[in-house]
Amino acid sequence: MRRIIQYVLYDILRTRFMLLYTALLFISTLAMFQLDNDPSKVVMSLLNIVLMVIPLVGIVFTTIHFYNSYEFIELMLAQPVDRKVIFLGEYIAVACSLSIAFLLGCGLPILLYGATPAAITLLCCGTVLTLVFVSLAFLAAVLTRDKAKAIGVALLFWFYFSLIYDGFLLWFVYAFSDYPLEKVTLALIALNPVDLARVIMLLQLDISALMGYTGAFYKSFFGSHTGILLSTTLLAVWIALPCYLSLHIFSKKDL
């Protein structure tokens, strides 16, 4: 597996797209620090990139890379190599390359201008969301042999978790506003990794005070040891479950 990871990782890191992706993140983060000296405002601006752009790039790039590597995967399958080794090697290499690009692009300017706890949390949330959407992209890729359908499924995942689910959540809260919905909303947020990362970041930035009683409830929960442990566990499940499902399908799929 180590050789597969090294080969795929080296092949991805030297692509123009990965270099351009890292450069754009670096320039954008650096420009935000140049425009505003307040680290909390910069982190708020970067939060939009982390919650929207990072998942989109991760899920689209991973899906396209999987199909571009199909000949390599078929060649490896012709060798006495276990399918799980090939799949996990591909997964780890893609996840590491996108995580490295994000950490270099956003992390270096943050280290240069001051690594506040909120900024470190932002980097952690961005890395976790990268891993989550890489797992979802592999799941979309192994579901169908058609590249166009796989990209469509991957984009549907992104639209659902980044846009559609939030609309449903807002409608639910508005429709049942007469009822105490704190615990129900907390459960619904746990079903979306993007919302989970958003709430964790907003609480780190102390904006929960602007959210009234609901914000105070979230702060009391996520600020506790139980809340931190549960949120970390849920994000780990969002990484592991799609990866396990895609590995199971890939192991039994007729290529």
Residue 141: C-alpha distances to residues 11, 74, 220, 245 (Å): 20, 15, 40, 12
Size (the chain), residues: 255
User: CB under 8 Å to 148, separation ≥6 — which residues?
Assistant: none
Q: Please report the pLDDT score of residue 48 as a whole number.
A: 83
CA angle 117, 224, 230 (to 5 degrees): 95
Q: Please report the pLDDT score of residue 71 as a whole number.
A: 84
* 26-44 pLDDT per residue, tens: 998 888 888 877 777 888 8
Q: Please report the pLDDT score of residue 215 as a whole number.
A: 55
Q: Please report the pLDDT score of residue 213 as a whole number.
A: 47
User: CB under 8 Å to 200, separation ≥6 — which residues?
Assistant: 121, 125, 222, 231
Q: Please report the pLDDT score of residue 132 as a whole number.
A: 94
The helix (H) or strand (E) run that includes residue 3 is helix 2-13
Q: By three-state DSSP, how is residue 30 classified?
A: helix
In whole angstroms, give the CA distance from residue 138 to residue 62: 7
Regions of the chain with pLDDT less than 70: 177, 180-182, 206-225, 227, 254-255
* 128-159 pLDDT per residue, tens: 999 999 999 999 999 888 888 989 999 999 99
Q: Please report the pLDDT score of residue 216 as a whole number.
A: 57
Q: Please report the pLDDT score of residue 210 as a whole number.
A: 46
